[in-house]
């Protein structure tokens, strides 16, 4: 609900905005059902990275509607990636990460649990070749990767809500990623995109804002016509 309010305040204002949003959320059946499913995961205190894509947290979600999802979170910006998979072998995991590294460069550290995809010699060799420090959580201290586990629960809740409303899994992935990247974070007050890409992403809500270039051009043309 806090994210809904933060996003609304970026584009709108009206009296009782907060209470109106709370009323809508309380009366949204899908929102209420999935809010009850949210699980709070303990968070281990890691030192904040100095820049984006320095340390990433990764975890798997699934199966959900016959699919697995690799969830990747950048510890600096909270930027999230969700990759759909039909199987979750070490090689497929490596391929998914390699695709991200081609876009954003190699990270310095990967934090994961002790899933077989991450403990295999294949994955260890991949990290070693690329100079990546791979840290695995101790079995008795899974909360060390609480950031990834918390986001997995958030993704589950978002997917369930979209599918409940009749959307497809593909639509759920795209909607979740885009909405999450463009909504201000409660801690930073900025969107993931602003922290990770150093710029805001354009959304359909931006169509509500005046096009100042068009307004200026119209005023200039009217001035020339009058004189």
pLDDT digits (tens, 9 = 90+) for 2-30: 666 666 666 665 777 777 767 776 776 65
Question: At 68, which helix (H) or strand (E)?
Answer: strand 67-74
Residue 196: CB atoms within 10 A of its CB come to: 20
The answer on pLDDT for 215 being more than 80 is: no
**Span 73-119, pLDDT tens digits:** 999 999 999 999 999 999 999 999 999 999 999 999 999 999 999 99
How far apart are the C-alpha atoms of 106 and 86, rounded to whole Å? 25
Domains of the chain, residue spans:
37-196
Contacts of 96 by beta carbon, 8 Å cutoff, 6+ apart: 70, 83, 85
Query: Comparing 139 with 54, which gets the higher pLDDT?
Result: 54
pTM (2 decimals)? 0.72
Query: Comparing 170 with 72, which gets the higher pLDDT?
Result: 72
Look at residue 221 in the predicted model and tell me its pLDDT. Answer: 66
Look at residue 214 in the predicted model and tell me its pLDDT. Answer: 65
Q: Is the peptide bond before 63 cis (omega within 30 degrees of 0)?
A: yes
Query: Comparing 42 with 28, which gets the higher pLDDT?
Result: 28
Look at residue 226 in the predicted model and tell me its pLDDT. Answer: 61
Architecture label for domain 37-196 = 2-Layer Sandwich (3.30)
Q: What is the DSSP letter of 166?
A: T
**Span 133-178, pLDDT tens digits:** 999 987 655 555 666 777 788 887 877 777 777 778 888 889 889 9
Look at residue 104 in the predicted model and tell me its pLDDT. Answer: 97
How far apart are the C-alpha atoms of 150 and 147, rounded to whole Å? 5
Helices (H) and strands (E) in the chain, counts: 10, 5
């Amino acid at each position: 609900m806090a994210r809904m309010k933060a996003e609304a305040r970026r584009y709108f204002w009206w009296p009782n905005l907060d209470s109106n949003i709370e009323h809508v959320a309380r009366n949204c059946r899908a929102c209420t059902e999935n809010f009850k499913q949210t699980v709070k995961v303990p968070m281990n205190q890691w030192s904040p990275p100095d820049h984006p894509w320095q340390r990433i947290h990764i975890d798997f979600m699934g199966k959900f509607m016959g699919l697995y999802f690799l969830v990747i979170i950048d510890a600096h910006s909270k930027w999230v990636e969700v990759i759909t998979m039909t199987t979750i072998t070490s090689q497929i995991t490596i391929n998914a990460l390699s695709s991200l590294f081609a876009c954003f460069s190699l990270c310095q550290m990967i934090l994961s649990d002790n899933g077989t995809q991450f403990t295999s010699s294949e994955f260890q060799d991949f990290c070693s070749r690329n100079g990546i420090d791979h840290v695995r959580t101790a079995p008795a201290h899974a909360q060390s990767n609480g950031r990834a586990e918390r986001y997995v629960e958030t993704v589950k809740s978002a997917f369930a809500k979209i599918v409940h409303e009749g959307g497809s899994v593909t639509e759920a992935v795209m909607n979740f990623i885009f909405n999450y990247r463009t909504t201000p974070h409660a801690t930073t007050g900025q969107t993931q995109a602003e922290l990770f890409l150093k710029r805001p992403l354009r959304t359909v809500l931006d169509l509500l804002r005046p096009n100042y270039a068009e307004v200026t051009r119209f005023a200039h043309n009217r001035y020339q016509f009058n004189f």
